[in-house]
Chain A
Amino acid sequence: MDNEYILEMKGITKQFSNVEVLHQVDFKIKKGEVHALMGENGAGKSTLIKILTGVYTKDAGQVFFNGEEIHPSSTLEAQQLGISPIYQEISLIPQLSVAENIFISREIKKKGFIDWKEIYKKAEEILKDLGINIDVRKPLRSYGTAIQQMVAIARSIMINSKMVIMDEATSSLDDDEVQILFNIIRKLKSQGISILFISHRLPEIFEISDSITILKDGSLVGEYPTSSLSRTELVSKMIGRNAEDVVNYKRTNRQIKDEYYLRAKSIKSGVKLRGINLDIRKGEVVGLAGLLGAGRTELARVLFGIDHKDSGSIEINGKEISFKLPREAIKYGIAFCSEDRKVEGIIPNMTVAENLCITNMKKVSYFGVINKRKCSSIAEEFVKKLRIKTPSIAQNIKNLSGGNQQKVILARWLSMEPDFIILDEPTRGIDVGAKKEIEDLIRQMSSQGISILLISSEFEELVRNCDRIVVLRDGMNAGILDGNDISEDKIMNLIANGNMAVGGN
């Protein structure tokens, strides 16, 4: 075996109930390199990784790790070999303390009993190494997603691994946290540890990776040094068509009538919202920018009646309202597409049709009895309209790729013909192709007169799609950008420096 490689996968093939999801895939990672695995949702990335980490067994092919052929049959076995996955969904135990999470299943023992003192000390050291100072005795759930992610990384470092797999590890981090993570990656790299990095955020790939392997529809497209690819080339290879129009879409300024749909004034709620103003006109796409914790999602939750405001007023179409429950907001024609698709969006074991019609039962039922034919025809209509890729509308939604699940959720809200849609990170964790389709949909909806509040951590996305951008900072307005003022630089500037240059509230 060539010793240059820590991992070599050869001719990997995998079928699920007669559908080939991986076809003869070769995949190699050098020692001490950051290797990005790219591909649209459904290209086979997750399956390949699950084979590598022992979650699935391959149907054909060989896996060599550190020069030896391996056949991991469980994640534990893979970890013992030195392969540590950090998954898209953080797989830690929220009720346990930070230290317990780091050391679970490999507790330090003294005379057969767990040596807590040592565990707390070690846990603190490991986290300090990563630049994080937190109380390791507190339960994990008392910290935010970013910290939880770091704990997951700390855990895998602790295992003394030779290769760390980061599957969308940055998807819930803000820019600063991503930089902390990248520093950690560079540190690991300098210690000769290889990183398998998966992310939908292209700038991250170009910043951190050394080489890129691209999959498409379960087959290998090729392996490239990162420096040899341009962003457009990468996207083109991933989606197999020219991606110029995805990456280079230019915004256009639209004329919006001065007719307000929603006016929220000095909304306060808890410590997160400290007096926010927000106006949305009919058919307008308003972006909400800000760092994690700036109050974006919190504001959306108040508008939709999930959380409640302490003070301030919300007017819709000139009438003051106050929703106690989401169902009241829904009755008012408001839709909310949550950022956490898994937890707050899909109903996993129900079909595409059921997921699609569930907000709209009034329309498809009569005295509580569902008209299944009507439900199916609505589902078929939206599957066609939004080009949702699913074998049939009777498929369980959990079997769809992330982008297609998101489309079903969007269809769910569109089918109730809303006046106002709140989209919280609608393109998070979905591939470039689906992302473009969802952005197209946003424009379509607004041209039909639907008002939209778009929350996104990706400035490009906001710049491309919004008529106006409201920037939040620390639960307050930091400024508003309008028309030609809208640019990534200006958003960044407002987040960093607040409202000095641009006249706003």
Chain B
Amino acid sequence: MDQIKKLQAGELFRKYGALIVLIIMLLINAVITPNFVHINTMWNVLIQAFCVLVISMGMTFVIATGGIDISVGSTMAISSIIFAKLLIEMECSFFVSILAALLAACIFGAFNGVLIGVFNFQPIVATLILMISGRGIAQQFNNGAVISFYGNKYSDIGTYRIGGLVPIQVIIVILIIAIALFLAKNTTFGLYVQSIGDNSTASKLVGIRTTAIIVMTYILCAFLAGFAASLETLRICSADPNNIGNNMELDCIAAVAIGGTPMSGGKTIIWGTVVGALVMQLITTMMNMNNIFYAYALVIKSAIIIIALYLQKEKTQ
């Protein structure tokens, strides 16, 4: 029991490495970045991080099964264009439009899941298929053209602030994180996901429907991608199948990795992913607000990721 009392520095870093980096970054920014300590800056960071935060919740479950989903960016493009097409051009109801966008995302998620869970494709290859084809499919919906809807009756929803203060995205993202935490910690689904990632043979032998669980994680991930895409479309009042969600898969995977969820699976560290996503966004915000040249920004971003990963690397005995 003494081991618990004496959390050594090394163990502290390993457990809270990402959080420590986040706090340090907040402190540095508070000092060097002008106007950083302002509620609007905080809201902006959260709004900008919205998509990564939401989708990386799903990505955490996918990675915990030992898988990976690199098609989330393309899924976003598909959902975004379907949503805007129905809502703006075909003038369907808001409800029908978002339902269609989410349904499409789920179908593509199921496609990933079936390739991986049923046909045993390697996850990175299986989702590569949709990553490549997804943007093509998205462009087909509107012949590659962007749908914009400034000044439309829907154009204020995405920038709505509850009580004139809290952006709608912040409330939604908190809800989604809470649900993800609950799923991971308190449900059989969360337990089975970790069990499959940790030892899939044993999981099958204890009677877990491993295939179904794997398919579900990919559907969940795609669903969240579709959901984030729809909200993002509303916020920026345009659906651009070429650009929405570009590099989203990489940002999400990085967020999960920084958060300490092992790529080999077996653990869902939801809080870590939240911190990871915020770290990623803070770096970008810091670079932007300090007018650092984009090319340098990328290098600094990588350096900070390396530090975060190094801090929590498993100590050898």
Could you tell me which A residues sit within 8 Å of B by CB distance? 16-19, 55-57, 304, 306, 325-327, 330-331, 336, 338, 343-350, 354, 358-359, 361, 365, 368-370, 372, 391, 412
Contact = CB atoms under 8 A, between A and B. Distances in A.
Given A18-B2, A18-B6, A361 B191 contact: yes
B6 A348 contact: no
B186 interface: yes
A235 B11 CA distance: 39
Contact of A358 (B187, B191, B201): B191
Q: Which of B194, B202, B204 neighbours the largest number of chain A CB atoms within 10 Å of its CB? A: B202
B161 interface: no
Given A358-B208, A361-B191, A370-B188, A346 B202 contact: yes
A338 B205 CA distance: 9
Given A18-B6, A370-B186, A358 B206 contact: yes
A22 to B, nearest CB: 13
Contact of B199 (A347, A368, A412): A347
A51 B182 CA distance: 42
B195 A348 contact: no
B266 interface: yes
B205 A350 contact: no
A368 B189 contact: yes
Contacts of A354: 191, 195
6 contacts: A326-B207, A327-B209, A347-B199, A348-B199, A350-B195, A368-B188
Interface residues of B, number: 25
Contacts of A358: 191, 195, 206, 208
Given A326-B205, A347-B195, A349-B266, 18 more contacts: A56-B317, A327-B207, A330-B206, A330-B207, A344-B201, A345-B202, A346-B202, A347-B198, A347-B199, A350-B195, A354-B191, A358-B195, A358-B208, A359-B206, A365-B188, A368-B188, A370-B191, A372-B186
Q: Which of B188, B189, B317 neighbours the largest number of chain A CB atoms within 10 Å of its CB? A: B188
Nearest to B267: A349
B291 interface: no
Given A17-B3, A343-B199, A349-B266, A361 B205 contact: no
A350 B198 contact: yes
Given A18-B3, A354-B191, A368-B187, A343 B201 contact: yes
A331 B266 CA distance: 26
Nearest to A56: B317
B203 interface: yes
Contacts of B6: 18
A358 B6 CA distance: 32
A218 to B, nearest CB: 16
Contacts of A412: 206
B206 A306 contact: no
A369 B188 CA distance: 6
Nearest to A396: B198
